[in-house]
Chain A
Amino acid sequence: MPENSLESLVGIFLIFLGFLARLNIVLTALCSGIITAAISHIPLVNIIGKIGEYFLITRNLPFIFLIPLLVISLLEKHSLTEYAKIWIAKISTATAGRLLMIYFFIRQLSAGLGLTGIGGHPQLVCPLLAPMSEEATLRKYNMVSLPYRVRHRLRCMAAATENIGLFFGEDIFVAFGAILFAHNFILKSSGIQTNPIHIAFWSFPTAFFSFLVHSIRLRKLDADLAKILGGTK
């Protein structure tokens, strides 16, 4: 085995350093890549050439983000998020856990259809989902304000629901960047041909289980809330 390839692991160390030094992640990533390659005895000119080559290959990633923006940004001007909020606010459920479960389902489903633009922390979770969860809890337990820790737990769960729904839904959308990236990489590095539609299909089991696991946790959230707040009915 080529002795010098173990040195490449230094790249991991470099990224830690960059992170600790709070350097911009783009700078950290690129410097780490360049230094790792240099330590592995690749000439600088070749390194820069490789960066260029890899950039050209991965242009489909920003492309998939950029093109739908033509439609989404136009509709955003006409308050797309406000309409999304109207639709979500129509969900009047009794508990925070159930509200988040419904949102999780919507988020995963829409991400699976490639609609990753609807949702998001500044646009939806912070102004709508988190307050709605707190509202639901206040109403259910007939309270005026929630204890500090309960409020924070609800907010964390809202944010977590958003992330998990998005991550395990978006790989189902066939044109999604990650799927095309995986397909491309496997093809270029080993010649093995894969079908992106099938890669997307095999995301279903994990997506299903993520929904199951997270729903169980949301159920537990409701049970915990009942225990903590139930006495004050």
Chain B
Amino acid sequence: MYFHQVYLYWLASFILFFVAIIIWKDKKDERYFTKGLFWFLYGILFLIGDWTYQLINNKKLINVTVGVLVIILSLIASTSTMKSAPFKIPTKNFVSSRDLEKKIFFPIILIPVITMIGIIFLKTNNSGYFFLFGSGKYQAVLVSLFSITIGTILGLVVACKITQETPLQSLQQTGKVLNAVGWTFMLPQVLAILGLLSNQSGMGTAISWLADSLYIQNRFITVALYVLSMALFSMIMGNSFASFPIISSGIGIPILINKYGGNPEVVASIGMLSGYCGTLMTPMAANFNIIPTVLLNIPDKYAVIKTQIPTSVSILIINIFLLYYLMRL
């Protein structure tokens, strides 16, 4: 009996269902039904795995059903039902406990440490990997998610011990935070879907054709085009999840990796980071760039963006040189 990735997703379903039930019970909030429905549907979507394909032998039907549910989620998300609740103002009656002051960061740090150990161990120790996951092809994502889950479970044990709380409390608090986070919970996936779908519709091919038709035979200029396009598309589409599929399939993979033999890991990494440079310069990334001006009472909405532009542009230029020289490694 091997460990499957879907087991981890079932844990996520469990948490999401719990949140839905908490919200459905709290009838004081007049929009409780749709809010709860959002988390409930998300929980259902995390249940789906290989077992679903084995049960219902129609992959297309499953995908279309999921697609419909995603559209429903988006509709709920886009109405004011799911407006993110205002962030909690720090409690005025906070009394620091010397004991907690020293220990409170330990479970937090435990999570990444265990994650790293898990990932490195499972990468290097084949028998360990086979024991857990069977002798298939190495799955990097599964290893990462598994390690971070183990890290969290251990962190939770420690956290419960030092705060003298129960895991049930942890679930309730998680529910509160998710309720406050609201619809932005689905944003990374939606932007990633935008990128993938746009690419599927031929945007990557269009970019590739544009790049080719400029007859650029110069590797440096191609690298510059890749880096700047990543930033530009991130600016347009809101974050680099959306731009990455398009630009890497338009320029990164066919030209930098295949034609020039570039190191795919370098190309991917610097591409993603160039996308981040774009995110720093766009009002579409409201959480990072616009909301702070509101919180900090700065009259110019674009002030933070303006402050970030010099750093962002400098790093873009540096990235061009980094990618040009490092891709040959």
A residues in contact (CB < 8 Å) with B: 1-2, 4-9, 11-12, 15-16, 19, 23-27, 29-30, 32-34, 36-37, 39-40, 42, 45, 47-83, 86, 113-115, 117-118, 121-123, 125-127, 130, 152-153, 155-160, 162-164, 167-168, 171, 173-175, 177-186, 189-190, 192, 194-203, 205-206, 209-210, 213-214, 217
Contacts and interface: CB of A to CB of B under 8 A. Distances in A.
Interface in B71-98: 71, 74-75, 77-78, 87, 90-91, 94, 96
A73 B177 CA distance: 7
A29 B248 contact: no
B107 A51 contact: no
Interface stretch (B24-32, B127-135, B178-186, B215-223): B178-186
A20 B94 CA distance: 43
B322 A198 contact: no
Between A39, A42, A194, the greatest number of chain B beta carbons within 10 A of the residue's beta carbon is seen for: A194
Contact of B174 (A37, A69, A217): A69
B115 A51 contact: no
Shortest 10 CB-CB distances between A and B: which pairs?
A5-B202, A52-B66, A52-B67, A48-B67, A52-B63, A73-B173, A114-B112, A202-B269, A24-B78, A33-B197
B159 A75 contact: yes
B96 A114 contact: no
B214 interface: no
Interface in B36-88: 42, 45-46, 48, 60, 62-71, 74-75, 77-78, 87
Contact of B273 (A24, A71, A171): A171
20 contacts: A5-B201, A5-B203, A8-B203, A25-B190, A29-B190, A37-B201, A48-B63, A65-B188, A70-B152, A70-B170, A78-B163, A81-B90, A159-B307, A160-B308, A167-B280, A189-B199, A206-B273, A206-B322, A209-B315, A214-B311
Interface of B: 8-9, 11-12, 15-16, 42, 45-46, 48, 60, 62-71, 74-75, 77-78, 87, 90-91, 94, 96, 100-101, 104-105, 107-109, 111-113, 115-116, 119-120, 123, 140-141, 144-145, 147-149, 152, 155-156, 159-160, 163, 165, 167, 169-171, 173-174, 176-178, 183, 185-194, 196-203, 205-206, 209, 233, 236-238, 240-242, 244-245, 248-249, 253, 257-258, 264-266, 268-273, 276, 279-280, 283-284, 286-289, 291-293, 295-300, 303-304, 306-308, 310-311, 314-315, 318-319, 322, 326
A10 to B, nearest CB: 9
Contact of A58 (B193, B258, B272, B291): B193
Contact of B189 (A61, A158, A175, A214): A61
Contacts of B284: 19, 25
A13 B283 CA distance: 16
Given A19-B284, A55-B193, A126-B292, A63 B9 contact: yes
Given A30-B74, A50-B63, A155-B296, 10 more contacts: A6-B206, A29-B194, A40-B202, A65-B185, A75-B108, A158-B296, A163-B288, A171-B269, A197-B120, A202-B265
Given A37-B201, A45-B64, A185-B245, A79 B140 contact: no
